[in-house]
Each structure stands twice: as structure tokens, then as C-alpha cells.
Amino acid sequence: MQSKIPLPTDNIYKFYALFGLLLLFASTFAFLSIHHSYNEQGYKNYVELKVLEELPDLTKEQEARKFILEKQNEISISDKKFFLDIIGFFQWHAKIQPIQDEIVSKQLEKLDVEIKLLKQQQSRSRFKK
């Protein structure tokens, strides 16, 4: 049976690139869908929690529901912080890491120049003797 989607099996790097692209799309979709569901759940819980807080006398069921909603709110906040930390990692990768790479590159160039100068000085000192 022939595959309708031809996979590049002639070069492993093409396969790595396609697999990475697929992984990127899947993780982006998963992140966005989870973030969206957290927001929807948070809005729904917020409205219900505010209604329960406004009631003067709560039944045992309402007290339990209020407690559960407060805990869900705390968990949602911590989960959102975790996802924002992941976004922070990507911002670090996009903004800070290129600058650090450039610094390392320039340090390497400087080191190469210093080595050449030292070799020149050594060769001059040999000829003088």
C-alpha cells in the first residue's frame, strides 16, 4: 500500500526537521487549547464564586461548593503562572540567548587574535636569538 504523504527517508535531517515541525504545531495547539479551557473554567468559577460570596447564609452544600471553587481558582492561578514561565523560557531563547551567542562569538574572535599575536611575538623572539 502506497502512502499518500511521502516521507523524506533519504536524509535523516529532513526527517528531523519535519518531526520537529510536527512537534511544534502539536505543542502549540495543545498549549492554546489548554490555556483557552483554563480561561473558560476560570470565568465560570469566578461568576459562581461571586454569587456565593454575596449570599448572607450558606448551606453546607454551598459552603462546600465555595471552598471547591476557591481551591480551583488557586490551582488555575498556579497553572497559569507555570504556562507563563514556559513563555518566559521562549522569550529568553529569542531575546537573551542570541545576545549571549554574539558575546561568545566575539570573545572567540578576540581569543583568536590574541593567539595570533602571541605566535608572532614568539616567532620574532626566536629570530632575535
pTM of the model: 0.46
pLDDT-above-90 percentage for the chain? 24
What pLDDT shows up at residue 9? 63
Query: Are 70 and 46 contacting, i.e. CB atoms less than 8 angstroms apart?
Result: no
At residue 3 the predicted structure's pLDDT band, cuts being 50, 70 and 90, is low
Smallest Cα–Cα separation from 43: which of 73, 84, 67?
A: 73
pLDDT tens by residue, 24-66 = 999 889 888 887 888 888 888 888 888 888 888 888 998 998 8
The DSSP line for 31-63 is: HHHHHHHHHHHHHHHHHHHHHHHH-SS--HHHH
| pLDDT, average across residues 88-100 | 82
Neighbours of 80 (CB within 10 A): 14
pLDDT at 129 over 80: no
What do you get for the CA distance between the two ends of the chain, in Å? 79
